[in-house]
Amino acid sequence: MELLNQLPPYNLFGLENQTFEGAKVVAIPVPYDSTSSYKSGSKDGPHAIIEASRNIELYSEETGTDISDIGIFTTEELAPNLSSPEATVEQIKKEVSIIAEKGKVPLLIGGEHTITLGSVGALLEKENDLSILYFDAHSDSRDSYLGAKVCHASVARRLMDLTENLYMLGVRSIDKESAQKYGSKILYMKDMHNKDRKSIINTLLNSLSEKVYLSIDLDVLDPSEMPSVGTPEPDGMHFNEMKEIIKGVLERKTLVGLDVVELNPIPGLVAPNYLAAKLIYMILSYSFGGV
């Protein structure tokens, strides 16, 4: 029975009548944070984002569009395989392969950053010319960390084992070896402060291939706007700056997948959760608003 007056359903953006078959975007909540080394809790991120997203205004005054009818299906939460991070990555890869095979856009809601490996691993098997745009305060580029080859601190390194087409934005924490090895793939936050947004967008448009995967570690944002992360790093990107850069890229490139990771909710503080949900909605608006 449906109540005469009921709150929006429990799914991303609280949308009625969503089906997998009819979806353009398929969201998978991944409540996984087993390799977190500092402050764990990002396994609670997906629930916090979905909860916040049910309160979002679906018309965007910024773009003049309402993209809630493109088909955005939210799956049940993925059960991580706690035997190893590799096993969880493999599970994600299988799920994302199914979504990508049907021509739909996978959206992972994290959870820790390690989950990106499953998503990108699946998409690279389908698209050989795919670029990854990686927003993160940290370069995540150690060959291993605390003995683990597959973990949040080495996820970018593992991605770079898979592809050369990875570009990082907003980094302000990196080890010396990685800085020497991967410096040319990184747009550091310190340099972004001195560049105008148009030139940043142009640099990215020239580097990225036609198809783009967006991986967003929310700690790329300044902790004043995004305190709810496991490893907050000062002097970060601002929400409007991030939106403008993503908009500039997606006006010219095709989004084939994305993830938004590392939200580590702080009890009683809902603004960062809402920001994360809104960010996802705006990314989909930039990508599908013209369709």
Q: Which residues contact 178 (CB under 8 A, 6 or more apart)?
A: 139, 141, 142, 157
The mark string for 9-48 relative to Mn ion (x by CB under 5 A, - otherwise) is: ----------------------------------------
Q: Is the Cα dihedral 225, 186, 95, 254 positive or negative?
A: positive
Determine how many CB atoms are found less than 10 A away from the CB of residue 100.
Answer: 20
Nearer to Mn ion, 44 or 217 (CB): 217
Q: Which of 44, 136, 233, 259 binds Mn ion (CB under 5 A)?
A: 136
Cβ atoms of 56 and 277 within 8 Å: the answer is yes
Q: Report the C-alpha gap between 205 and 26 in whole angstroms.
A: 26
Q: In the bound complex, what is the minimum distance in angstroms from residue 291's beta carbon to Mn ion?
A: 30
Q: Which is nearer to Mn ion, 65 or 231 (CB)?
A: 231
List the interface residues with Mn ion, window 109-128 (CB under 5 A): 113
Return d(Cα 163, Cα 133) in angstroms, integer: 12
Q: Which stretch binds Mn ion (CB under 5 A): 105-113, 168-176, 177-185, 195-203?
A: 105-113
253 near Mn ion (CB under 5 A): no
Which 165-194 positions form the footprint of Mn ion (CB under 5 A)? none
The answer to whether 217 contacts Mn ion (rule: CB under 5 A) is yes
Q: Which stretch binds Mn ion (CB under 5 A): 212-220, 227-235, 236-244, 283-291?
A: 212-220
Minimum Å distance from CB 11 to Mn ion? 26
Query: 140: phi > 0 → left, psi -120 to 50 → alpha, else beta; which?
Result: left
Q: What single-letter amino acid sits at 188?
A: Y
The residue ranges that bind Mn ion (CB under 5 A) are 113, 136, 140, 217
